[in-house]
Structure 1
Amino acid sequence: MNTITAPSPLAAIPFAVPESRWDEAVAASLTPEELLLYRSNLLGSDLTVTNFGGGNTSAKLVEVDPITGEQVEILWVKGSGGDIGSMKLDGFATLYQEKLLSLEKHYGGPDDDDKMVGYLPHCTFNLNSRAASIDTPLHSLLPFAHVDHVHPDAIIALAASSGGEAVTMEIWGGKIGWLPWKRPGYTLGVQLRDFVKANPQVEGVMLAGHGIICWADSARACYEHTVSLIADAAKYLNSRLAEKPALGGASATLFSSAERAAMAADLMPRLRGLMIGARRKVGHFSDDAEALEFVNSVDFERLAALGTSCPDHFLRTKIAPLTLDPARLQDDAYLAGKVADYRELYAAYYERCKRSNSPAMRDSNPVVVLVPGLGRITFATDKTTARLAGEFYGNAINVMRGAEAIGDYIALDEQEAFDIEYWLLEEAKLQRMPAPKSLVGRIALVTGGAGGIGAATAARLMADGACVMLADRDEQAVGEVREGFARQFGSDIVRSVVCDVTDEAQVSEAFAACAREFGGLDILVANAGIASSAPIEETTIALWNRNYDVLAQGYFLSSRAAWPLLKGMKEQGGSSVVFIGSKNGVAAATNASAYASAKAAANHLARCLALEGASHGIRVNVVNPDAVIQGSRIWDGDWRKERAGAHGIDAGKELEEHYRQRSMLKRDVLPSDIAEAVYFLASDMSAKSTGNMINVDAGNAQAFTR
């Protein structure tokens, strides 16, 4: 039972105050281009300075023209896309500064912003393939050697407040100017240049709604100027936040950490199943301090309805979040109605704001879901995007808190928001993106995930974009496998949990963890296993029960725990269960009655579940391996000696050769071979297959299923 407790007065979360991290010992040996990159990476890797992917930096450098051999001024500016915190030198667009300045003769006014972008490729220096960003004119039209444009929370809080302009004057005494909101583009660049020309005393300009731009004569001076301005804003906001409760104070809805974890695991799959669309969603849950302060505040509903302000935030989070009543989370009809209402509201927003040449309406499902007492849930077509959407909304929360401390928070105008979301230039960028991999948006749980077949299967699924929860009873082994996959595929898409499949409570928690980490489940690979070999007279009750506990009951417990998560995906194309069986589940094996009969029980369980799951869109199939020796933890133990003894051969290389020669195709069977069969059965390639068995055994006539 979730417990609602009385609110406690909490001090407002302060804005982080950045400090310079410039290391002159590092900088001294760098070329001018490398200094720009160093400065950019320092700014972008500090989330108190700018959010992921946000901001852009530039330097005007002298280069040798490869055609004329003359020295020319080249603008190095962060290219379209990318992240200044992690970018390399190839992330910069390079353009002839003289050509950029000559473009103004083609500019006839604000309606030409999109047209002006089309001229940027004609200014490219040295055949650089990195596309220039829409913010390029902000850098090229300013006459300064080094320019930074960043979007830190403390700055956006000023830029998105009714009191922002007055506070800008109060903090910097006229050294930082103010320009009203204007969408990024050539017109904003012209306005900025003209403002700076008319106000030569300014050292930077606040751009209402989306950040600050500043400059200096050297890379270090520009970096430290940027950091200093952000620190000034943060210190000022912290002084104002100390004067009154943030966001109107705390409300009465608070749950414990354990309750929040359980609520998220229960709620996320149910929401995910309601988000019908062209592609499945992956979820991300956060109950960090910022999220809880916001959703538990008096002003929560009012501010959430206003939506975000900064274009960087808005493009990741949609115009507004979906908010839910924590007292009604168990009401499926309520949840379905709220998601449907959101889609209708989004469609109405599209119809109100669309223009004659607007792209077709995109996915109308909510990205951000906020629940008092619980926190923030975000959904996107892949885990990284879902996580980043949550982080960007966390930035938006900080902005609202700071903006309200000095005035009224001002959200992005609805039409302006639409024109950014459905900008033809943004649409062209989306159309250029490569098609997603086949399993992007799918979530898998693999039992026995640290073993040879389990790890190979997880790798195969992740290679095609799936998120994977590795479940294994060996904590150290599964942790090591997870760490390796995080390095290979990125940490977002892989998690691990300790789970003994014979323990009902651990199995239940493993699936709850999967739901909480990724939002649900599409694929169960039941793989955890053991093997034993003994004549019937030497087969003890303990040995018999151990085989059935792991290979039959373990598959049953895993399937039962997965079932409600899998059922929820029927409207989105269904889901898949794959059992890792065995040739011995079909063909009798000498001195292996416990193991072989338990595998046969699991195989027949799969057939039963195929019947039961069909009406829910759940496909259940089996892969029967044989003699997967390489990379197998099972074959590293007594099973190897026992099977060698049963066949009267040496347990070393002779055993592998025995199984190879026993097969019809005379080939080794590897974990990766099993993984390919699992991928086929888990993917849409087998969308019309259920109740089937695929033997991956290099050919064994005894195991023919028909």
Structure 2
Amino acid sequence: MNPAVEELLRRAHELGADPRNTNYAGGNASAKGTATDPVTGGEVDLMWVKGSGGDLGTLTESGLAVLRLDRLRALVDVFPGVEREDEMVAAFDFCRHGLGGAAPSIDTAMHGLVDAPHVDHLHPDAGIAIATAADGPALTRTIFGDRVAWVPWRRPGFQLGLDIAAIRRDNPDTIGVILGGHGITAWGDTSAQCQHNSLEIIQTASTYLTQHGRPEPFGPTLFDPLPEATRRERAAALFPLVRGLASTDAPMVGHLTDNSEVLDFLSRAEHPRLAALGTSCPDHFLRTKVAPLVLDLPPDAPLDEAIARLRELHAAYRDAYAAYYQRHATPASPPMRGADPAIVLIPGVGMFSFGRDKQTARVAGEFYVNAINVMRGAESVSSYAPIDESEKFRIEYWDLEEAKLRRIPPPRPLATRIAFVTGGGSGIGAATARRLSAEGACVIIADRDLTAAEKVAAELGESAIAVQVDVTSEEEITAAVRIAVLAFGGIDLVVNNAGLSLSRSLLDTTAADWDLQHQVMPRGSFLVSRETARVMIAQAMGGDIIYISSKNAVFAGPNNLAYGAAKADQAHQVRLLAAELGEHAIRVNGINPDGVVRGSGIFASGWGANRAAVYGIPEDRLGEYYAQRTLLKKEVLPEHIAQAVFLLTQLTHTTGLHIPVDAGVSAAFLR
């Protein structure tokens, strides 16, 4: 690796690791140096810069765009002017060096044209607070003197690069600039000096705000946040409704933020005015939209009143967003992408943020927290004055932004779906959780064995959580569903998989045996379906409930009364719920597996040994035995059941169906 690249990555990681320096995927850093030209064998001057879409904190060499400096700087001579500056992004491709590398971002000119070996462009809250203050130029002079210059707002692009390069050239003692409405840029002769200068600007701005800012820039407190337990209960009651509203144009995943920054902001008198002004830094409002939706009721307003008001505000928000689009759109503008809010603020409760996946939803919330910090800083020493609405529109519906969106890979089939899988810690449940996650779903792995559930969730990353639940307990189911809602905003897909079996003859079956199996399977499935259906109905987004029943629901096997009766009960619940929930676009279907031995918690807990004894074979031959009695002569694995679950989610016009996944057992054919 080139030494310049090593230094650049080290600096990027150190800067990007601290959220006080820049937001996720925001800002960029560059280094200039020499390398050997593979064609001529001579030295060539290059620039390595973070490419489009990358993140400083996790940047790798493959995330860098590599350009020849001579060709990049020669673009100055053919620059057609501000009105056509977007054409320069395509020209960057003709300046690239070597194979591979990331696509150059719009900020490439800023880095290449500034005559300094190392350049950072960052979005620190403290820096943007100065950049969005009404008297930002005067504050910049007061805080930094001649060490940092002010650059009036200009949309990122080639001309902004020329502007900053001119300041660097004409003011050689400056270490960087405050970019009006946007962020900061700093430079240095070495990577260490550049990083030092970036941090000096950030820390100096932060210290000034701390020492000179008014103590309560958001005004007096109107009301206190709800106590934590009450707050979470209220959030769980509202989140599915709000998610459904925010998914009017396209389905979304949600994220809840109720930290002190958000709760304090929403408790103060000035929050409606400031929220209406929207965010300013392009990275902020591209993630959070031009402004949030804010509930204008106190935290203790009756729940029904809050729900009705949210519906009204959502309709008004959509009308206002459409009007905003119409005010600024030109015949060349991309179509309106959707009129729903990405941020919904609930005083006393917190912030719901939305995105196409869990990470995007979480990051949108993080960006709005950045915006709150910016507003606090600007209001503490001046007044918050973000860029004009017309400029926000120019960036939101920028051709270059549209091109970036087109580069996003198409969503996986279950993207934005939120799945609740019972018995998810092992066997069929674990295989189903893995398959749903692989297809893009967020997954709640519910199991009585929390350790097993956590192990599966850890495999699946941020879009999966584990919850401990015994499906015989109404209280534990209610609590688990609430955790799921608070984690992702709702539930769209339920897999009733939790189960057990005790293989005994009629005379050996006790009432306790019967009760236990009926409590876990038919009763447990009923309770889970009831609680999750409440969420789905509140969302008004439809959904799927899938029962993992059994061949034994229709086949009369020996020594199997309690289990078979319980599974038959589950099978009929599918028909009953399909008939009842269809009006809410909730599909209810079932799967009838058989002989799923490998990885099965039921078989490992004694059922396998019992069935092997019934059939007079060694237990380790049970899977083979089941396979040989099927029409296809194939063993059924947990992954095959998971495949059927996924298939049912794709059958958009099917409900009340049972699918056998038993490799062909003619006696269990459905009639």
Q: How does 1:454-603 map to 2 (within 5 A)?
A: 454-486=429-461, 491=462, 493-570=463-540, 572=541, 574-603=542-571
CA deviations on 1:135-155 (whole Å, 9 max, x unpaired) are 011111111001111111111
Equivalent residue letter for 2:406: Q
Q: What is the deviation of 1:246?
A: 3.5
Q: How does 1:206-355 map to 2 (within 5 A)?
A: 206-241=178-213, 243-324=214-295, 325=297, 326=299, 327=301, 329-331=303-305, 332-355=307-330
| C-alpha distance in 2 between matches for 1:144 and 1:50 | 21
Query: Which of 194, 204, 207 is equivalent to 2:166?
Result: 194
Measure the CA separation in 2 of the matches of 1:124 and 1:650: 66
Alignment match of 1:370 (pick from 336, 345, 348): 345
Please report how far the alpha carbon of residue 567 of structure 1 lies from its aligned counterpart in structure 2 after TM superposition. Answer: 2.2
Residues 174, 202 of structure 1: 8 Å contact kept: yes
Post-superposition shift, 1:130? 1.8
Give the letter for the 1:481 counterpart.
V
Distance (whole Å) between structure 1 residues aligned to residue 256 and residue 460 of structure 2? 22
In structure 1, distance between residues paired with 2:530 and 2:365: 31
Equivalence for 1:17: none
State the Cα deviation string for residues 292-326 of structure 1 (Å, max 9, x = none).
Answer: 11111121111001000111101100110000124
Give the equivalent residue in structure 2 for 1:672. 639
Give SS of 1:536's match. coil
Instruction: Say yes or no: does 1:385 pair with 2:355.
Output: no
In the alignment, structure 1 residue 410 sits paired with structure 2 residue 382: no
Write out per-residue CA displacement over residues 594-651 of structure 1, whole angstroms, 9 at most, x where no aligned residue: 1110111111111111111111111111101111111111111121121122222222
Q: Does the 8 Å CA contact 1:106/1:116 hold for their aligned counterparts?
A: no
TM-score (norm 1): 0.92
Q: CA RMSD in A?
A: 1.4
> How far off is 1:178 after superposition?
0.6
Partner of residue 704, structure 1: 669
Instruction: Tell me by how many angstroms 1:328 deviates.
Output: 5.6
Task: Give the drift of 1:275.
Answer: 3.3
The corresponding residue for 1:94 is 66
Matches of 1:484 and 1:467, distance apart in 2: 13
Structure 2: stretches of 5+ with no match in the other structure: none
Q: State the shift of 1:660 in Å.
A: 1.7
Q: Which residue of 1 aligns with 2:582?
A: 614
Matches of 1:504 and 1:30 in 2, distance apart?
61
In structure 1, the gaps of 5 or more residues are 1-28
CA contact (8 A) 1:437 1:464 kept: yes
For 1:163 and 1:248, how far apart are their aligned partners in 2? 20
The aligned counterpart of 1:642 is: 610
Task: Tell me what 2:622 maps to.
Answer: 655
Query: Do structure 1's residue 695 and structure 2's residue 665 form an aligned pair?
Result: no
Closer, same or farther: CA 421–166 of 1 in aligned 2, 3 Å = same
CA deviations over 1:651-687 (Å, ceiling 9, x no partner): 2x23222212122211111000000000111x2x211
Q: Is the 8 A contact 1:623 1:677 kept in 2?
A: yes
| Number of the residue aligned with 1:165 | 137
Instruction: Provide the residue aligned with 1:32 in structure 2.
Output: 4
- Measure, in 2, the Cα distance between the counterparts of 1:114 and 1:248: 42
Equivalent AA in structure 2 for residue 342 of structure 1? Y
The number of residues matched between the two structures is: 667
Instruction: State the alpha-carbon separation in 2 of the partners of residues 118 and 482 from structure 1.
Output: 42
Query: Partners of 1:336 and 1:210 in 2: how far apart?
Result: 33
Residue 421 (1) aligns with residue 396 (2) = yes
2:446–2:466 contact (8 Å) kept in structure 1: yes
Instruction: Letter of the 1:59 partner, please give it.
Output: A
The amino acid across from 2:387 in the alignment is: L
Q: Distance in 2 between matches of 1:343 and 1:697?
A: 49
Assess, with a 3 A threshold, how the Cα gap between structure 1 residues 251 and 30 changes in structure 2: closer, same or farther. Answer: farther
Find the counterpart in structure 1 of residue 22 from structure 2.
Answer: 50
Q: CA deviation at 1:329?
A: 4.4
Can you list the C-alpha shifts for 1:478-513, whole angstroms capped at 9, x where unaligned? 112211222xxxx1x111111110000111111111
Q: What's the counterpart of residue 425 of structure 2?
A: 450
> Separation in 2 of the partners of 1:567 and 1:346?
27
The one-letter amino acid paired with 1:86 is: T
Using the aligned pairs only, state the percent identity: 45
Q: Match of 2:50?
A: 78
Tell me the distance in 2 between the aligned counterparts of 1:620 and 1:58: 54
Secondary structure, counterpart of 2:58 in structure 1: coil
Indicate if the aligned counterparts of 1:535 and 1:591 stay in contact, CA closer than 8 A.
Answer: yes
CA distance in 2, matches of 1:239, 1:330: 45
Question: How many angstroms apart in 2 are the aligned matches of 1:322 and 1:407?
Answer: 25
8 Å CA contact 2:426, 2:600 repeated in 1 = yes
Mapped to 2, the partners of 1:41 and 1:240 lie a distance apart of: 31
Distance change in 2, residues 1:362/1:35 (3 Å): same
Q: Secondary structure in 1 aligned to 2:655?
A: coil
User: Per-residue CA shift, 1:547-601, capped at 9, x if unaligned?
Assistant: 000011001101111112222454x4x2111000011111012111011101111
CA contact (8 A) 2:503 2:563 kept: yes
**What amino acid does structure 2 have at the position aligned with 1:445?**
F
Match of 2:572 in 1: 604
1:357 to 328, 332, 339: 332
The answer to whether the 8 A contact 1:309-1:412 is kept is: yes
Q: Deviations over 1:189-220 (max 9, x none)?
A: 11111122222221111111111111111112
Q: Distance in 1 between matches of 2:38 and 2:222?
A: 65
Query: Displacement, 1:236?
Result: 1.5
Task: Give secondary structure in 2 for the equivalent of 1:46.
Answer: coil
Q: Which amino acid aligns with 2:422?
A: T
In 2, distance between residues paired with 1:418 and 1:229? Answer: 29
Does structure 2 retain, via aligned residues, the 8 Å contact 1:569–1:617? Answer: no
CA distance in 1, matches of 2:560, 2:102: 62
The letter for the 1-side match of 2:565 is: S
Instruction: Give how far 1:239 is off.
Output: 1.5
Residues in 2 aligned to 1:482 and 1:115: alpha-carbon distance in whole angstroms: 46
Separation in 2, partners of 1:108, 1:456: 57
Q: Partner of 1:25 in structure 2? A: none
Matches of 1:232 and 1:346 in 2, distance apart?
38
Q: Does the aligned pair in 2 maintain the 1:569–1:575 contact within 8 Å?
A: no
Is the 2:2–2:35 contact (alpha carbons within 8 Å) kept by the matching residues of 1?
Answer: no
- Equivalent-residue separation in structure 2 for 1:459 and 1:402 (angstroms): 44
| Closer/same/farther in 2, CA of residues 600 and 535 from structure 1, 3 Å limit | same
Task: For residue 245 of structure 1, give the secondary structure of its aligned residue in structure 2.
Answer: coil
Amino acid at match of 1:238: T
